[in-house]
Chains A and B, each alone.
Chain A
């Protein structure tokens, strides 16, 4: 009966199979806490009003301890926190183990974007999932700690470099219909573990599709190179792989962007510092330079910039995808 209040003040809407239980536990603790808070502060205010120092008022002797009372107020809270603990961990165990036959999506976190890889090879920078189906997220990080957090689903798990972690969710509501993003009202996905400069911008959107829509979407997403011109495919990949996080396309050369701007650069000369060297050399921005900058970004750093770009291995970015990105870079004026 209080859930209306709880829904409006605390918590975003419940959009996964576990959200209701989590919110229920939250409400239970909330009302229990409210009770004890009112009790303690109520007594405190009552005592202050009744016993404040004023002319003619003095303290009255009373026992300075009372074993029965003290044992009671130790044991009752102990039992109550025991109950909270019990509900907390039983639901947690359910949240930790993905059901059998879950649809598995690989989540690759790097500074500062998300890459979602679907079983058919499709990739995306926003998350797309089918409704009413258990989805297991296999999490990994390419660089530092990140944390995969979808408030609407009440799930969160760190992405730890060097090991796999996982979590799962079953979405209970779609965010819209059709495979066109604009017809959806997606949920937020946040990075919840501090990961450096653009931590707060390491956000993505979560689209929940009808099953049939999802099949269509994932099929189309799997074949960008085939279904698009190299330039178009390059543009999709440029955004999807997070290049736009650090490279401006409007010539903005400020520290807002960790990397140098990329528009109008094709074929120009640039000053770079080879690794371990202190004197810059001049290189031309051509196919080989771009390819090396993606595969070994720290080998030659543009003067005035710091090393820090994710190393894009062939597992993260295939050769033909680099070719498409190069085609796209050539179009940037």
Chain B
């Protein structure tokens, strides 16, 4: 029996007062900056990630405002150069600093060990190192931002990235370091899930969020090294002039695209798979129904992770690659759409005959289904070769990936944050304002990106600082939408932050969820669990009853249905 007992975890540096929790067990800057506690690391990631999200969001609003008029709203202040830096840094910050680490490193770090009923991740020091690396990587990005900027696009395509005068080196060093951070996180989760599951939690009794994080971790450790090597080669190319990618020295610029997308396409699944995991939790908990088709959802996560490695060439349908390669990549691309479709059907079916609690996290989950379905279906236009030729590198693509990445991942992330907020900080937020800002986000999001599908299909190329007049109406709509979306996002975060000061104290299990993290107090004690948690089905709600006195759910000892006794 390998359960963790409090007696094995004596650490004189920490407060053993039963009323203390991981937030109050020790204090001071050093107790946070060098903590080995996965919960504190998760919270620090959360802060860093929201800083990045804010920065990326401000850049997005600036560039949307710039595009309000065909020749640029800010005139000379946002010159062509500055616009090119705005969209590049928006993309790079959002991708590398925010969306890749958002769910795995922040929520995953906090939730995963609790879901497993463990004291911490397998390698707490590596976990801390991962966060410190993230900080270093972010610093290099900031160096690029405040020195000469970066104007290559977040994809660093050669040969432009070799010859531009902007600070490509600082940005690639930043991305290189962030790659290690990502690998460390992935490695930690794989070992944690493999070795630290408690007795009774078989693979097919794991919460689906763990499946999703596990599948993500596989991609993180297999794909990220490719990015690292690619960026090293790019640095070598810039500094030493090796001649791998630079055609003037006999190199091949398309080779860079192969290397880059061999990482960056799977990275898209690093971004979306954890969001799908959150969705599986939310749909089940707030419908009070076991997740529909558990096995299909679990396998589809693994299928997406593996198939995701085979489709990178669809970013290069017009790069001059051979028609045969294009046809093969197109076919493989469609294969990866099926597991995603299955998940959407399963989530929807989970609501059938349920008791749907329209709390804020569920509102985000419903938004997700709406937006992610649009994101997924518009991928079909891009996977089909004949239509992709026209739509490639237009705003249609911009809209598509924002529907997937923002409408999907960010919406799920915020939904998950609302869901786990009472657990993380031990306070309840204001439901009315939570739902209100969810609606504002939903409306603003659609107003921002629906017009982009239309203008993209009408031929508006992406990454344009100025444009021909006929596209202006769509840009105006999109910019108004972006401002609305910005207000909604700030509001949604404000609701959470304000709850820290005036929120009602959260019960252990406010939503009636059946996964293990809800069996410890909110916020969790330093050592997570006072007693080894009892492993049951993660989606069986039959023995949880609402208790109005504490405002949350408790185990009903008189529940007719009992889970089988432990085998250990």
Interface residues, chain A, CB within 8 Å of chain B? 9-12, 18, 21-22, 25-26, 29-30, 32-33, 36-37, 40-41, 43-44, 47-48, 51-53, 57-62, 64-66, 69-70, 73-74, 77-78, 81-82, 84-85, 87-89, 91-93, 95-97, 143-145, 147, 149, 151-152, 154-158, 160-163, 165, 188, 190-201, 203, 254-256, 306, 308
Contacts and interface: CB of A to CB of B under 8 A. Distances in A.
A33 B334 contact: no
A191 B164 CA distance: 18
B457 A10 contact: yes
Nearest to A112: B80
Nearest to A164: B320
Contacts of B295: 65
Nearest to B456: A10
B310 to A, nearest CB: 14
A196 B84 contact: yes
Given A37-B377, A158-B320, A255-B81, A201 B160 contact: no
B278 to A, nearest CB: 17
Nearest to A77: B341
B384 A57 contact: no
Contacts of A40: 344-345, 348, 369, 373
B318 A85 contact: no
Given A143-B159, A188-B459, A22 B81 contact: no
Contacts of A194: 84, 152-153, 157, 160, 462-463
A29 B160 contact: no
B165 A162 contact: no
Interface residues of B, number: 92
B539 interface: yes
Contacts, number: 266
B330 interface: yes
Contact of A44 (B320, B351, B467): B351
B7 interface: no
Nearest to A194: B463
A160 B319 contact: yes
Contacts of A51: 287, 351-356
B16 interface: no
Contact of A158 (B287, B319, B457, B468): B319
Contacts of B165: 306, 308
Contacts of A9: 454
A98 B190 CA distance: 51
A79 B386 CA distance: 19
Contact of A145 (B160, B291, B389): B160
A142 B76 CA distance: 29
A57 B387 contact: no
A147 B393 contact: yes
Interface string B286-303: 011111111110000000
Interface stretch (B28-36, B55-63, B171-179, B247-255): B247-255
A144 B160 contact: yes
A143 B159 CA distance: 8
Contact of A92 (B251, B320, B326, B393): B326
Contact of B458 (A12, A21, A157, A198): A12
Nearest to B378: A33
30 contacts: A10-B453, A10-B458, A22-B386, A22-B390, A26-B381, A26-B387, A30-B381, A33-B378, A37-B373, A47-B348, A52-B358, A64-B292, A70-B293, A74-B342, A81-B338, A84-B380, A87-B384, A92-B326, A95-B389, A143-B163, A147-B318, A149-B393, A156-B389, A157-B320, A160-B253, A161-B159, A192-B318, A193-B157, A194-B463, A196-B164
